[in-house]
Amino acid sequence: MDVSQYLEIFIDETKEHLQTLSDQLMILEQEPENMDTINEIFRAAHSLKGMAGTMGYKRMQRLTHDMENVFQEIRSGNMTVKPELVDVLFRGLDALEGYLANILESSDEGTEDNEEIINTLNGIADAATGKVKEEPEKSVSEDVPKESGAAKYENIQISDYEKNTFDKAKAQNENIFGITVYLHETCILKVARAFLVFKALEELGEVIKSVPDIQDIEDEKFDLDFSLVYFTKESMEKVKAAVENVSEVDEVVIGPFDTSDNSESKTESTSEPEPIKKEAESEKAVKQTPAKPAAAQAVAKPAQAKQQAAKKQAKPAVGRTVRVDIEKLDVLMNLVSELIIAKNGLVSINSAEGESKNDAAAFNEQIEYLESVTTNLHESVMKVRMVPIESVVSRFPRMIRDLSKKLGKKMELHMTGEETELDRTVIDEIGDPLQHLLRNSADHGLESNEERIALGKEEVGNIYLDAYQDGNNVNIEVRDDGAGINIEKVRNKAIEKGTLTAEQADHMSDKEIIDLLFRPSFSTAEQVTDVSGRGVGLDVVKTKIEGLGGNIECKTVIGEGSSFIIRLPLTLAIIQALMVELGPEKYAIPLGSIETIEDVLVTDIKSVQTKEVINLRGTVIPLIRLDQILDIKAGNDDVDILTVVIVKKGDRLAGLVVDNLIGQQEIVIKSIGSYINCSKMIGGATILGDGEIALILEVNALV
């Protein structure tokens, strides 16, 4: 048995609890008297402590334990919530997150003790209660209901063979104890805990027999208690302490195992000998004291044995998991059954060939059925991969709170659309860029409180994080009502830095100037804080988002604030696309980026600065001759009417000239591999129904 198999559960649950803690602490800061919140925090801290203990993360356990103590005091009314306390608790939370990060990486919590936080916490608790340090620890244990359990080990039956080993043990001057361990009734990972009890005991001596036997315990075939016969040279107290150190052990009943009594009265009825056995030799000596139920005690002493045991199971990085609603799985299951039915339908048509006349009709019907099933199946599988964006953004209120304190600016974060769902792979990657943008807004976007008052704005700065679905995209908007970006300054800076010539800069639109901020050369803090205070690593943000198949855009109004809009594709692997023909070749244009399709008279094409444009209902749209940029041997040049696919990137439009439209199709995006030096214009390839390959055009790179 091995606790590492519980590591994933541990990590998932720890994340949830940490999030609860963080959320509730935020509330607590606003409403220090809120008893529900305090209880919630207490529960989360308590669960964390238990879980950390189970997994053998000693430092984590200790820290949560002390946090829990403080809340115990608050709960019992011995102290009130003060801002300093919340600060310390937040630091404690950060430390816990640090542990978790370490565990994620190496399945080891690391060696940081965070003594300072612990001492501060204890100091606060002590000051509030006027008690000595040990006492809060005791108070914790009191909230766990305890009853004295029966010494069930007295009922363990011993075979002749085992009795023999007992004699040998006695002869070796070892103590023989009977131990009954009661687990806490809310305990989830009973097996893990039992395992840790065994592990702890085996450090000190030898478990001779257990009821139920080890196999059953491993299979979780036991209630909340199990009993053991145990050989050790250690004292009863030490053994007891070791077992009690395993968290969620409710009670340990230990006493000398009366071999003579048990063996004589019950030997006959026992089964075959236990496999776990070791030879012991020499003299005999058995301590004879009556078995007494042990009193409940706090779990406080360090148990090195257990900790080491868990640590040995080190396993690198944890696989990524998605929690799936069982209903979604049911839907999938149903669809798969339908798929099989559809397949059977086709098989039966095939085998009935020639017999019926309406073959073709039946065949078509089946194909349509199959099509609807596969579409639904695709949708459902995508849904399984979808995770609400909440899991990423929920940490931001906390971050803004900290930034607000650190920068000495009052600000508030308003979030909407946290329930918007995105693919898991996107969710995993999007956190950092968003954090970056929020920091930028808080640090550079918002003016100081004094400036705001002077400008007639409300004192508290506002930062908005809005997520919403827009067609095939999910948009995430990071907005602030701060100073905005001074475009002229950026322009001048760009000229000064030699990024642009003055002439170039004059010709560039404001939008193009803002785009400069996303250039790597504009990315270091020093270069940009002078200009507008923006641009720290914006190029990194851009790269990351483009890597996810999305794009980012910035809008700004001086004096009113700026907003960064991130557009991300809803799905990654399968998309709806328009198939077009260019000469002899076929290309796919993702439907999500297509606005309209127009027929344009060649005579309507105008030339502006040597670029071809068309005027479409009042909008001037540049034309892109796909055959030219893709080096396709021109088909027929002498046409009067061009088919133009109008595509958009953000609010920029462009017209792609194609030879022929084939139609809309659901395509599976495939990579064309890393060997081939593929241009950015090609976003991948897909296989068509006839086995032919069509390349997918990356509209974002074309426009």
Active site residues: 46, 68, 440
Instruction: Please give the Cα distance from 355 to 561 (Å, whole number).
Output: 73
> DSSP of 318-347, one letter per residue?
PPP-----HHHHHHHHHHHHHHHHHHHHHH
Q: Does 701 bind other proteins (CB under 8 A)?
A: no
Q: Smallest distance from the beta carbon of 632 to other proteins, in angstroms?
A: 8
Q: Smallest distance from the beta carbon of 625 to other proteins, in angstroms?
A: 13
Which H, E and C letters describe 442-464, residue by residue?
A: HHHHCCCHHHHHHCCCCCCEEEE
Q: Smallest distance from the beta carbon of 348 to other proteins, in angstroms?
A: 26
Torsion of CA 207, 212, 217, 221, to 10 degrees: 180
Torsion of CA 83, 89, 91, 93, to 10 degrees: -140
Among 508, 630, 653, 661, binds other proteins (CB under 8 A): 630
Q: Smallest distance from the beta carbon of 156 to other proteins, in angstroms?
A: 54
Q: Does 673 bind other proteins (CB under 8 A)?
A: yes
Closer by beta carbon to other proteins, 557 or else 687: 687
Closer by beta carbon to other proteins, 603 or else 675: 675
Q: Does 233 bind other proteins (CB under 8 A)?
A: no
Instruction: Please give the Cα distance from 698 to 18 (Å, whole number).
Output: 40
Q: Does 362 bind other proteins (CB under 8 A)?
A: no
Q: In Å, what is the CA distance from 189 to each residue of 42, 298, 314?
A: 21, 20, 19
Q: Please give the structure tokens belonging to residue 478.
A: 């990071």
Amino acid letter at 301? K
Q: Does 521 bind other proteins (CB under 8 A)?
A: no
Closer by beta carbon to other proteins, 517 or else 702: 702
CA terminus-to-terminus distance, the chain: 58
Closer by beta carbon to other proteins, 609 or else 675: 675
Classify residue 301 by its DSSP letter.
S
Q: Smallest distance from the beta carbon of 702 to other proteins, in angstroms?
A: 12
* Contact stretch for other proteins (CB under 8 A) within 325-333, 413-421, 563-571, 664-672: 664-672
Q: Does 631 bind other proteins (CB under 8 A)?
A: yes
CA angle at 501 for the pair 498 and 505, rounded to the nearest 5°: 115
What residue spans of 553-651 are helical by DSSP H? 626-629
Determine contact, residues 121/66, Cβ cutoff 8 Å. yes
Closer by beta carbon to other proteins, 617 or else 633: 633
136: cis peptide before it, omega within 30°?
A: no
Nearest in space to 288 (alpha carbons), one of 210, 206, 177, 161: 177
Closer by beta carbon to other proteins, 343 or else 405: 343
Closer by beta carbon to other proteins, 331 or else 685: 685
The site string for other proteins over 143-182 (x = CB under 8 A, - otherwise) reads ----------------------------------------
Closer by beta carbon to other proteins, 636 or else 671: 671
Q: Smallest distance from the beta carbon of 381 to other proteins, in angstroms?
A: 17
Residues contacting other proteins: total by CB under 8 A: 24
Binding residues for other proteins restricted to 679-698, rule: CB under 8 A: 679, 681-682, 685, 687, 691-695
Buried b (16+ CB within 10 A) or exposed e, 432-470: ebbbbbbbbbbbbbbbebeebeeeebeeebbbbbbbeee
Q: Does 672 bind other proteins (CB under 8 A)?
A: yes
Closer by beta carbon to other proteins, 104 or else 678: 678
Among 632, 653, 661, 662, binds other proteins (CB under 8 A): 632
Nearest in space to 462 (alpha carbons), one of 434, 439, 481: 481
Q: Smallest distance from the beta carbon of 585 to other proteins, in angstroms?
A: 7
* Contact stretch for other proteins (CB under 8 A) within 122-130, 142-150, 603-611, 627-635: 627-635
* Contact stretch for other proteins (CB under 8 A) within 16-24, 265-273, 601-609, 672-680: 672-680
Q: Please give the structure tokens belonging to residue 389.
A: 């964006």
Q: Smallest distance from the beta carbon of 350 to other proteins, in angstroms?
A: 22
Q: Smallest distance from the beta carbon of 619 to other proteins, in angstroms?
A: 28
Closer by beta carbon to other proteins, 207 or else 694: 694
Instruction: Please give the Cα distance from 420 to 422 (Å, whole number).
Output: 7
Instruction: Please give the Cα distance from 427 to 430 (Å, whole number).
Output: 5
Collapsing DSSP states into helix, strand and coil, what is residue 144? coil
Determine contact, residues 359/345, Cβ cutoff 8 Å. no
Closer by beta carbon to other proteins, 641 or else 687: 687
Q: Does 455 bind other proteins (CB under 8 A)?
A: no
Q: Other CB atoms closer than 10 Å to residue 238's CB: what's the count?
A: 13
Q: Smallest distance from the beta carbon of 635 to other proteins, in angstroms?
A: 15
Helices 115-129 + 58-75 axis angle, to 10: 20
What residue spans of 312-441 are helical by DSSP H? 326-351, 359-385, 390-393, 396-407, 424-440
Q: Does 372 bind other proteins (CB under 8 A)?
A: no
Binding residues for other proteins restricted to 568-587, rule: CB under 8 A: 585
Binding residues for other proteins restricted to 583-612, rule: CB under 8 A: 585
Determine contact, residues 612/606, Cβ cutoff 8 Å. yes
Among 233, 238, 497, 670, binds other proteins (CB under 8 A): 670
Q: Other CB atoms closer than 10 Å to residue 9's CB: what's the count?
A: 15
Q: Smallest distance from the beta carbon of 687 to other proteins, in angstroms?
A: 5
Q: Does 678 bind other proteins (CB under 8 A)?
A: yes
Residues that bind other proteins (CB under 8 A): 585, 629-632, 670-679, 681-682, 685, 687, 691-695
